[in-house]
Amino acid sequence: MDSPAIFAIAVALATVLAGGGGYFLARAAMRSNKSTAVGDGEETLSSARLEAQRILARAEEEGRARAETFREREQAQLAHRRVELENMESRLSQREETLDQRASNLATREQMVLTREREITDVRSEVEKLREDARQELARVAGLDAIAAKEKLLGQVEDEARRDAMLLVRDLEIKAREEADKRARRILATSIQRLASEVVTESTVSVITLPSDEMKGRIIGREGRNIRALESVTGVNLIVDDTPEAVSVASFDPVRREVARLTLERLVADGRIHPSSIEEAYQKAQAEVEQSVRDAGEWALLEVGLSRMNPELVTLLGRLKYRTSYGQNVLNHLVESAHVASMLAHELGIDPAPVKRAALLHDIGKAVTHEVEGSHALIGAEIARRFGEDPAVVHGIEAHHNEVEPRTVLAVLVQAADAVSAARPGARREALESYVRRLERLEEVALDFKGVERVFAMQAGREVRVVVDPGEIDDLSAGDLARRIARKLEEDLQYPGQILVTVIREFRASDYAR
């Protein structure tokens, strides 16, 4: 075997040993080849052996280094895992302590709950016992058995429930009234502030001023023939009294009264007073008044903004120029009511035309009430129906004084406009007798209620103050009493606007120091 072959074998052995082959296998191979290679050359074998030993030494050194590195890495991993295990054991230990603490707290709370339950049970038992003792004591003192005591208790509960219900009703009514009053005041204020009307200055008595008292004799005439002729032609009564330089004209028909006034003024201005001149002056005055009536009716239509209306209705409207109600001119009242109704309709978002028409015609019956018996509202509704007015307008006329129950918004607005025009300050003058009678009626209605001691009607009948017995009426019942009195006034009386009912309850305790 030549030297290269031996060198290759040695390198192969060294490579096997460096890759992890056994040291003793390499030695055994070297021995087996030693005898074979003796004859080939000692020098070559010796150099190969040395090279193989160096390779083996280097392989062993590298193997030990790798083994040391692997061992250190394994030790580091084991140390890291040991630390993790220690941390995990620490956390588990803390959790066990926390669970033990929670279990201890739960046990304590459970014990407290059980103690409280026992205490509550004991208290309930004690309360039941005290209640039973109180019932027995009440029955013994009051001489009542259990059934009677139960009925008394139920009565107390019923009173409390009624009291609570009254409180709830009072609160709801106050809230609803405040909201309704707020909205109504806003609407009325917006409408009224756009309306400017004069204060009543007209008088219901026609007085003719004379240049001298001598004219009274001419008016009376020889043996009273002139005054008889005047009264016969005009249909009025002439009052020639002690009033200096004045003669009064009286008649239930305002148109006749106006014709007579103009006739007499013409005669006084002319100075010639006799039956023939009286007839001539009367005819001229009558024509003038008829023209004035037509002009007044047309003026009302133009003032309100209406264009189409039956001529007979226009004439009846014009006749109201000479009619007054509590000192308020009726035609001016109708025009004013129509304006107010139109503005209210605009505020509520409904068609103002029929509302305005109904408000203008709502007192048309007053033009013929001295000729036809009955309520002017129903008479006016019949007249409007006869002359072809819309049924809604007719209903607004007949319902404006509640002779017929209002069924439409139009009828309610006519009522409101009528009340606003009639109740505004300076609109009307009221006779003393009717004023006193209305105040007395207000006081009588309030005095009919139980527990009322005194009643005072104030502010021209727009406020009623009721003084009650504090022993019979408590604070809560006072509100209910005020509400019942107000409902009674609404049912029994007719009045413009509102009446404020104030219940006054005062309790005074006094004693003497001796």
Q: Which of 427, 436, 300 is nearest to 356 (CA)?
A: 300
Which residues lie across from 328 on neighbouring strands? 325
* 459 and 412 in a common domain: no
pLDDT for 283 equals 87
Helix, strand, coil percent content, the chain, rounded in steps of 5: 70, 5, 25
* 236 and 183 in a common domain: no
* 353 and 210 in a common domain: yes
Interval 231-268: pLDDT, tens: 888 888 878 776 777 788 877 777 788 888 888 888 88
Interval 76-119: pLDDT, tens: 999 999 999 999 998 998 988 889 898 988 998 899 999 888 88
Q: Is 441 exposed, middle or buried (0-12, 13-18, 19+ CB in 10 A)?
A: middle
* 246 and 308 in a common domain: yes
Which residues lie across from 114 on neighbouring strands? none
Does 352 reside within a domain? yes
d(CA 321, CA 366): 11
d(CA 295, CA 301): 10
Quote the domain boundaries for residue 187: 145-193
Q: Which of 365, 399, 423 is the last residue of a domain?
A: 423
Interaxial angle between packed helices 352-361 and 330-348, expressed in degrees from 0 to 180 and rounded to the nearest 10 = 160
C-beta neighbour count of 438 within 10 angstroms: 16
Does 132 reside within a domain? no
* 40 and 171 in a common domain: no
pLDDT for 184 equals 65
The 3-class SS string of 188-215 reads HHHHHCCCCCCCCCCCCCEEEECCCCHH
* 439 and 394 in a common domain: no
pLDDT for 8 equals 55
Q: Which of 85, 111, 137 is the last residue of a domain?
A: 111
* 165 and 39 in a common domain: no
* 467 and 405 in a common domain: no
d(CA 281, CA 204): 23
Does 125 reside within a domain? no
Residue 26 has pLDDT above 70, yes or no: no
* 187 and 45 in a common domain: no
Residue 25 has pLDDT above 50, yes or no: no
CATH number reported for the structural domain that contains residue 488 in this entry? 3.30.300.20
Does 120 reside within a domain? no
Q: What percent of the chain has pLDDT over 90?
A: 7
Enter the tokens of residue 467.
Answer: 């003084």
Does 509 reside within a domain? no
Does 23 reside within a domain? yes
pLDDT for 39 equals 52
Interval 299-338: pLDDT, tens: 888 888 887 888 888 888 888 888 877 767 888 888 988 9
Q: Which of 423, 452, 477 is the last residue of a domain?
A: 423
Interval 374-400: pLDDT, tens: 788 889 999 999 998 999 999 999 998
* 217 and 182 in a common domain: no
Does 380 reside within a domain? yes
Interval 159-199: pLDDT, tens: 888 877 877 777 777 777 777 666 765 665 565 555 544 44
CATH number reported for the structural domain that contains residue 298 in this entry? 1.10.3210
Enter the tokens of residue 406.
Answer: 């209002």
Residue 483 has pLDDT above 70, yes or no: yes
pTM (two decimals): 0.47
DSSP E strand boundaries for 309-387:
324-325, 328-329
Q: How far is CA 166 from the centre of its chain?
A: 20
Q: How far is CA 197 from the centre of its chain?
A: 32
Domain count, the chain: 4
* 390 and 316 in a common domain: yes
Does 42 reside within a domain? yes
* 219 and 181 in a common domain: no
